[in-house]
Amino acid sequence: MTNKRGREKAEVAEGTAHTDVQRRIIYDSSNIRSVYANVAKLSAGREEIILQFGIDQSQNAPERESGVLLTASITLNPFTAKRLALLLDNALQDYEVEYGPLDKGFSSNPDISEPESTDEKARLLFQLVGELDVQIGIERSFKIFDQSILANRFLLGFKKDTISGDSSEKILDICERMDMPGNCLEAFRENLSEANIVLFGFEKNETNRLYKAYLEFGGRFEKLIKDNPDKPEPFLIHQGFKWDASDNRRCARAEYICFPSFSVEKMLERLSGFFILGRAITPLKS
């Protein structure tokens, strides 16, 4: 694990890599000013990046207002900001290895990037998956439509065998508490034993909120490659279930087939038929 001194050395080495002279850096902290912050604000231009830090005062603000007292501002050139980003990334990786994952990231727009903070259906999903007490991967995504972007989407994924006790019972309990339709629940139950990864998701648009559940069968890929390494057969890699979070009568199932023996040319041939009205695609050559 990289310690503080190691990071300082890394920063100095990167900052002086363009020269052949190795300098000894002496850090003078006599004029340093320490401030605490639980809010950060960033603005960027071509020549500089400005970081502002402050304290959230929402607790003392009126109900429909959110107050932040800014207490410090730091201006960086883009190169220093890049080095800072790398150092922060390393520090956070070390933190998560030692203390566990930081599941909830910062966003200046909760309505877009953090629907779980404003929607009770999304909050319920985070709560249920969090109760499993396992390491969770969070994937946020968006869909682009004509003149609009659907950004209120996320998936929470975890390895089934990391759940203590009866993993299947705990996962099926989540499905039931999310009000998964009966026919989907039965199919989900039948295939759960073969899955190595389970994902639960949420999606919100202007009129509907959807729950999603996926089973991933990664073990099938390893078995097929082992049994027939030259030409493995297509197989079911994901099974998906989607339903309206407010009316589970509106539901759908989907299957995702993996073709492990497809070449790049074969993939492009298929894509050309679906998306470019039959026109052939010529792969780029290096």
pLDDT at 63: 54
11 and 122, same domain (yes or no): no
Longest Cα–Cα distance of the chain, Å, equals 70
pLDDT tens string 223-270: 777 777 777 788 888 999 999 999 999 999 999 988 888 888 888 887
151 and 263, same domain (yes or no): yes
Q: How far apart are CA 195 and CA 238, in angstroms?
A: 9
95 and 141, same domain (yes or no): no
pLDDT over 70 at 109, yes or no: no
Q: How far apart are CA 198 and CA 256, in angstroms?
A: 14
Q: Retrieve residue 248's tokens.
A: 């589970």
pLDDT at 112: 34
Confidence of residue 175 (pLDDT cuts 50, 70, 90): very high
212 and 87, same domain (yes or no): no
Confidence of residue 201 (pLDDT cuts 50, 70, 90): very high
pLDDT at 8: 47
Range(s) of the domain holding residue 71: 4-21+37-99
Residue given tokens 């006790």 in the structure block: 165
CA-nearest of 131, 130, 149, 127 to 140 is 149
The answer, as to whether pTM is greater than 0.75, is: no
- Count of domains forming the chain: 2
